[in-house]
Amino acid sequence: MAQDDNTAAAKKQRYSGYYNQPAKSDDSLLTAVGPGTPCGDYLRRYWQPFLIASELGELPLAVRLLGEDLVVFRDKSGTLGLLHKHCIHRGVSLEFGIIAERGIRCCYHGWHFDCDGTVLDTPAEPETSRIKHNFCQGAYRVVERHGLLFAYMGPPEAEPEFPLYDALCVPGQVMAPFRMPLPCNWLQIVENAADPIHNAYLHAIMSASGSQFSVAFKVLPALDFVETPLGFLSMATRKVRDHVFIRAGELMLPNVAQFPAGNNAVDKESVRAFASLTRWAVPVDDHHSFYIGTAQWDEHGITRSANLDDYGVGKMPLIGQTADRPYYERQIEPGDYDAMVSPGPIVNRKSEHLGTTDRGVVMIRRMLAAAINATREGKAPALPRLPAGGAPVRTYAHETVLRLPLADALPDKSALGAFGNRAAKVFIDMDDIADSRRDAVARERIEKILREACDAIGQPA
């Protein structure tokens, strides 16, 4: 005990780097994604996007996903194939294969594989050979949705229905796919989404150009984390001049996040029940990942840029999402890339000192660990709730700006947090409201809560 006290005291003294060496952590339960790992098995139970559809041309493309080397192609009949990269005959990469009317033919000895991995032909073998019936090339199912290619890499007997999220099914919306490579573990991208306070610092207060998020984000928000059917809302509620401003990002297990655009000037009222950006944090391997998804907008939604050319591979209309800037500029104005990558390929979590604002980070780690352990024990992982009749999956990211009826309404962080929490539940309890009415109904219900908050301070709204 005395020894512990001495150590603690030594660590708290000034110039105590000698005593403050970081502890070593092993987070492999959450970070190791290769075949046969608990986390890798868990992630493989969900459809994972891995390519912008337009990245795939006439030739096969080598890709690395969840620690596996693969080749993706579209055969001449239009079917998508995703096969283990190395030919099961003698290992030549199928990126040099010849695409056929049906499937792909290995360049070395002509073995011909269908998109599902079936060996169709081994042309150099004797006609009587039955070798092609004895093996399959490893293959995964691929679908194209929202301008992206998604793979399912889990056990075929457990393949889930593809979840169409409501935010990606808004009539008349424009969708802009993007894919952003990062040399870090996937969990660092997920944790970035669970951390709404970084929007105030990294994207506003610390932004030298002032061009990352709007000035409104400089106001420190009340935070809250409100559970949803498959994750939680990462809530930031602010009083900005005479408006209350709620921004709710959303995390959905295992690796989906949705956000409002982040450039709301908070100078006029708006209520929006749909995310303007949806992204998946997808592991390439333990030390490399990308986030991939779409920005989407329509006549009602706020978007960061409505120019499709601003999105693509390594392209997002937000400074600091890549390393593709002079180092000096990155130091003057760092962005998400620098925040997610600079801790190293895998953050040493044992050396962290978490504060109250890290609640969302702790929540997502706990949720993921529980889900990974449950999958390891043979339980089926929780999947998005697919409504009857083929309706899209309800999601809950939202953004609200309302004028305060009274200047001194919602006077402190506690009142703001409670208001944000009630507003979040409005969106979560609206599953039965038609998409076209969600903004209006949410507004009506939140205005009522706001009036009640004003009544509570003893003055009529």
Is position 96 an interface residue for ligand FES (rule: CB under 6 A)? no
Considering the rule CB under 6 A, would residue 99 count as an interface residue with ligand FES? Answer: no
| Cβ closest to ligand FES, residue 107 vs residue 406 | 107
Residue 183's binding partner, choosing from ligand FES, Fe ion, none, with beta-carbon cut-off 5 to 8 A by kind? none
Residue written as tokens 């990462």?
A: 234
Rounded Cα distance, 382 and 228, in Å = 12
Whose CA is closest to 420, among 402, 408, 436, 441?
Answer: 402
Both tokens of residue 110? 């002509």
Least Å from the CB of residue 61 to ligand FES: 18
115, exposed or middle or buried, with CB in 10 Å at 0-12, 13-18, 19+?
A: buried
Contacting range for ligand FES; rule: CB under 6 A; set: 51-59, 89-97, 182-190, 386-394: 89-97
Which residue number, 92 or 341, has a Cβ lying nearer to ligand FES?
92
Partner interacting with residue 106 (select from ligand FES, Fe ion, none; CB below 5-8 Å by kind): ligand FES
The yes or no reply on residue 285 touching Fe ion (CB under 5 A) is no
Is residue 119 close enough to count as binding ligand FES by CB under 6 A? no
Please select the residue that binds Fe ion; options are 41, 166, 336, 439, rule is CB under 5 A: 336
Per CB under 5 A, the segment of 134-142, 167-175, 330-338, 365-373 that binds Fe ion is 330-338
- Tell me the DSSP string of 306-326: --GGG-BBTB-SSTTSSS-S-
CB 67 within 8 A of CB 34: yes
Tell me if 111 contacts ligand FES by CB under 6 A: yes
The item of Fe ion, ligand FES, none sharing an interface with residue 109, based on CB under 5 to 8 Å by kind, is ligand FES
C-alpha to C-alpha distance for 58 and 285, rounded to whole angstroms: 26
Q: Which of the listed partners (ligand FES, Fe ion, none) does 90 bind, with a CB threshold of 5 to 8 Å by partner kind?
A: ligand FES
What is the side-by-side order of every strand in the sheet holding 98-99? 98-99, 104-105, 112-113, 119-121
**Which of residues 286 and 336 has its CB atom nearest to Fe ion in the complex?**
336
Q: Are 264 and 214 in contact (CB under 8 A)?
A: yes
Task: Determine the angle formed by the axes of helices 413-428 and 435-456, rounding to 10 degrees.
Answer: 150
Q: Where are the alpha helices (DSSP H) in 122-217?
A: 186-193, 197-200
Which residue number, 259 or 297, has a Cβ lying nearer to Fe ion? 259
Q: Judged by CB under 6 A, which of 33, 70, 71, 106 binds ligand FES?
A: 106
One-letter amino acid for residue 137 of the chain: Q
| Cβ proximity to ligand FES, 67 vs 97, nearer residue | 97
Q: Which does 336 bind (CB under 5 to 8 A by kind): ligand FES, Fe ion, none?
A: Fe ion
Question: Which part of the chain contacts Fe ion (CB under 5 A), choosing from 22-30, 176-184, 298-306, 332-340?
Answer: 332-340
CA 363 to chain centre: 15
Part in contact with ligand FES (CB under 6 A); list of ranges 105-113, 365-373, 397-405, 451-459: 105-113
Binding of residue 104 to ligand FES (CB under 6 A):
no
Q: Is residue 166 at the binding interface for Fe ion, with CB under 5 A as the rule?
A: no
Residue 109 sits in the site that holds ligand FES (CB under 6 A): yes
The answer to whether the CB of 251 falls within 8 A of the CB of 259 is: no
Does 139 contact ligand FES by CB under 6 A? no
Helix axes 359-376, 186-193, angle to 10 degrees: 130
Cβ atoms of residues 128 and 30 within 8 Å? no
Residues of this chain that bind Fe ion (CB under 5 A): 336
Residues of this chain that bind ligand FES (CB under 6 A): 87, 89-92, 106, 108-111
